[in-house]
Amino acid sequence: MAYVEFKAIAKSFGNFVAVADLDLEIEQGEFFSLLGPSGCGKSTTLRMLAGFVKPTKGHINVHGRDVTALPPEARDIGIVFQNYAIFPHMTVFDNIAFGLVERKLSRPEIKKKVDAALAEVGMTGFEDRYERELSGGQKQRVALARVLVIEPEILLLDEPLSALDKKMREEMKFWIKNIQKSVGITTIYVTHDQSEALTMSDRIAVMDQGRVLQVGSPVEIYEQPASRFIAEFIGESNLLKCQVTTLDGSACSVNLGDVSIPGRLSSNASVEPGQDVALLVRPEMIRLRPIEANEPPKLQGTVSETIYQGSVVRYRIHAAGQEIMVEVANRPDLPRLNTGDNVATYWSAESGVVIP
């Protein structure tokens, strides 16, 4: 039995369906992300688990216990919101102590736990400061300490990094992940940022319009997206128009122009020979080289644009009547190409994912 279970959960606001028929299972200690575009129902899902929103139907179990009808305070869940500003009129110490004071712990106990929480989030020495004396990242550290100090069973984080600048977000991503691992707390993280989800999560649920489209590890979601929507939402993708030629289990060849290219079928998809499909190839999976004489047929094309980006060089290739974006590491051993060059493009069968 999973630690957290959403069973046929739905939530409507009037006639509007915010979450439809949601089934999810989250394991103890897991870092699980809900990833999807704005308005897809991520926060609503999180709030139903926290007890702030009542589901229209379905059940939520935590550790085998049905919590659907329980009020938030009976659920043993800590939540950090996007703009969870800490109380401005209280010091950092009093902010973190807040939940412990409410629980009527003794002074020495509170001091011990707050000190430990401060150390955990790297904020020892900041206990007497006020909100106005903290950076955005420091405020979020305090907000997290305030939740961790009450030792909840489950930690919910709703876009906790979205108010921070890019550099701070990068830093906090790794920091939150490390804290989560060291505390071992079951964590559900809401974000619309694919790089956050890929970096931090054990598993990701991709959502759109109130539905879960795919659940999987970051590698599965990125390398075997179940649909075009997921492929395009997560990372950059070439989706090449082609037709299925042969099919053998999950191995699937397609015709691109007049070249047959091996690929593999995306998870749970089914196609038939002759069917029009898309071949997903990530820009960084494609190799380019000048065309050599007497080589077996490869997809050939012409460089229509070169974009120098420092650590990588991007090439737009015109091939088989389509545009293919290729990203090549800027290394001395890889050929530098120019606009107008004729090139052979190739990638491994593993890197070509056939999507209906």
**What residues make contact with Mg ion under the rule CB under 5 A?**
43
Binding mask 178-197 for ligand ATP (x = CB under 6 A): --------------x-----
State the minimum distance, in angstroms, from the CB of residue 43 to ligand ATP.
3
State the minimum distance, in angstroms, from the CB of residue 81 to Mg ion.
9
What are residue 322's phi and psi, to 5 degrees? -130, 165
State the minimum distance, in angstroms, from the CB of residue 48 to ligand ATP.
10
Buried b / exposed e along 139-176 (16+ C-beta atoms within 10 A): bbbbbbbbbbbbebebbbbbbbbebbeeebbeebbebb
User: Is residue 18 involved in binding ligand ATP (CB under 6 A)?
Assistant: yes
Q: Which is nearer to ligand ATP, 71 or 88 (CB)?
A: 71
Q: Which is nearer to ligand ATP, 43 or 345 (CB)?
A: 43
Among Mg ion, ligand ATP, none, residue 192 binds (CB under 5-8 Å by kind): ligand ATP
Residue nearest to Mg ion (CB): 43
Q: Which is nearer to ligand ATP, 95 or 214 (CB)?
A: 214
Binding mask 35-74 for ligand ATP (x = CB under 6 A): -x-xxxxxxx------------------------------
State the minimum distance, in angstroms, from the CB of residue 58 to ligand ATP.
15
Stretch that binds ligand ATP, among 34-42, 172-180, 237-245, 302-310 (CB under 6 A): 34-42
State the minimum distance, in angstroms, from the CB of residue 157 to ligand ATP.
12
User: Is residue 13 involved in binding ligand ATP (CB under 6 A)?
Assistant: yes
The tokens for 67 are 């919590």
State the minimum distance, in angstroms, from the CB of residue 19 to ligand ATP.
7
State the minimum distance, in angstroms, from the CB of residue 237 to Mg ion.
25
Angle at CA of residue 154, ends 106 and 124, nearest 5°: 50
Instruction: Give every CB contact of residue 199 below 8 A, 6+ residues apart in sequence.
Output: 173, 174, 177, 218
State the minimum distance, in angstroms, from the CB of residue 159 to ligand ATP.
6
Beta bridge partners of residue 354, listed in sequence order: 265, 279
The tokens for 93 are 């110490």
Among ligand ATP, Mg ion, none, residue 203 binds (CB under 5-8 Å by kind): none
Distance CA 285, CA 347 (A): 6
Using CB under 6 A as the binding criterion, the count of chain residues that bind ligand ATP stands at 12
Q: Which is nearer to Mg ion, 5 or 159 (CB)?
A: 159
Among ligand ATP, Mg ion, none, residue 38 binds (CB under 5-8 Å by kind): ligand ATP
Among Mg ion, ligand ATP, none, residue 41 binds (CB under 5-8 Å by kind): ligand ATP
Q: DSSP letter string over 194-261?
A: HHHHHHH-SEEEEEETTEEEEEE-HHHHHHS-SSHHHHHHSS--EEEEEEEEEEETTEEEEEETTEEE
Q: If 0-12 CB within 10 Å is exposed, 13-18 middle and 19+ buried, where does residue 293 land?
A: exposed
Distance CA 173, CA 169 (A): 6
- Outline where the chain has alpha helix (H): 42-50, 92-102, 107-120, 136-148, 166-183, 194-200, 218-223, 228-233
State the minimum distance, in angstroms, from the CB of residue 296 to ligand ATP.
48
| Sheet of strand 299-308, all strands in order from the earlier edge strand to the far edge | 287-290, 342-346, 299-308, 312-319, 322-329
User: Is residue 313 involved in binding ligand ATP (CB under 6 A)?
Assistant: no
3-state secondary structure of 342: strand
Q: DSSP letter string over 34-56?
A: EE-STTSSHHHHHHHHHTSS--S
Q: Which is nearer to ligand ATP, 10 or 259 (CB)?
A: 10
Site residues (vs ligand ATP, CB under 6 A): 13, 16, 18, 36, 38-44, 192
